[in-house]
Amino acid sequence: MYSDLNIVTPKINRKSTTNELIYDSFKISKDNILERLQTLLCINKVKATEILTNCKPLSKVSPKLLTDNYEICKVYGITNESLTSFPELLTQKDLPEKLHLINNATNDVNSMISLLKMNFNNLSKTVCLLDKENDRVQYFSKLFNVKPLQICEYIKKKPFLLKLNLERIQESLRLLTDNGISKNEVLSDLWVLNYKLDTVKKRIKFVKENKFEKIKTWMIRAPSDIILKTTEMTWSSQKSDGK
């Protein structure tokens, strides 16, 4: 009786269904992280969304790890302001070990929080060069009149700063500033502090004898022939441009 009826069975797009499930799962996870960030850091949804957008690893972290890391940060005195600036720390599985390590090198973990972005091995090497009683981060901060967090960024890129003799650094910096090189210029080219004082004096003398308009930090680092060649090229270029 029903043999002649054509019953059409709707086709189920399994791929589409799977994608929808994945999307729904991601959305739920994202919403959970947003709510957790707002609660823990005492921020509004707009700020939490901004943090989540700029810090991709947060979208993949479990709420438990996020909360556990937040709580351990509080044990070490890390402020919500610091965590808002460095939210990626909340995603690190080895954060407790890192915090224990860096706590032995400073009286204020907040001032060195950016160092926690380093992997454990590099952080360990850096901490070995730090002295809690003779805090080089604070020393450089006062010497160059910049925030400790900024100094930590320089240290991450130029770890040799932790090995230099502090008296030698002061003498080199005084010599450079006395000859027209600003502290900001030195910060932009910190390798200049790695040269012996006699070398710096010789380069400054050479530059003055050749009547350069202004001493640059690269002139301290570069061999004499390179300085002359570079300057000649600059003069030729300016002459051809009619300057």
pTM: 0.73
Query: Does the structure show a pLDDT above 70 at 12?
Result: no
Question: Pick the residue with more confidence: 131 or 170?
Answer: 170
Find the mean pLDDT for residues 176-204. Answer: 94
Structural domain boundaries of the chain? 31-92, 94-163, 168-243
What per-residue confidence (pLDDT) applies to 237? Answer: 53
Binned at pLDDT 50, 70 and 90, residue 1 comes out as: very low
Q: What is the pLDDT of residues 21-40, one digit of tens each?
A: 343 444 447 888 999 999 99
What per-residue confidence (pLDDT) applies to 234? Answer: 55
Q: What is the pLDDT of residues 49-62, one digit of tens each?
A: 999 999 999 988 98
What per-residue confidence (pLDDT) applies to 22? Answer: 41
Is 155 buried (19+), middle (13-18) or exposed (0-12) by CB count in 10 A? buried
Minimum mean pLDDT range among 5-9, 126-130, 163-167, 221-225:
5-9
Q: What percentage of residues in the chain have a pLDDT greater than 90?
A: 61
Query: Does the structure show a pLDDT above 50 at 221?
Result: yes
Binned at pLDDT 50, 70 and 90, residue 10 comes out as: low
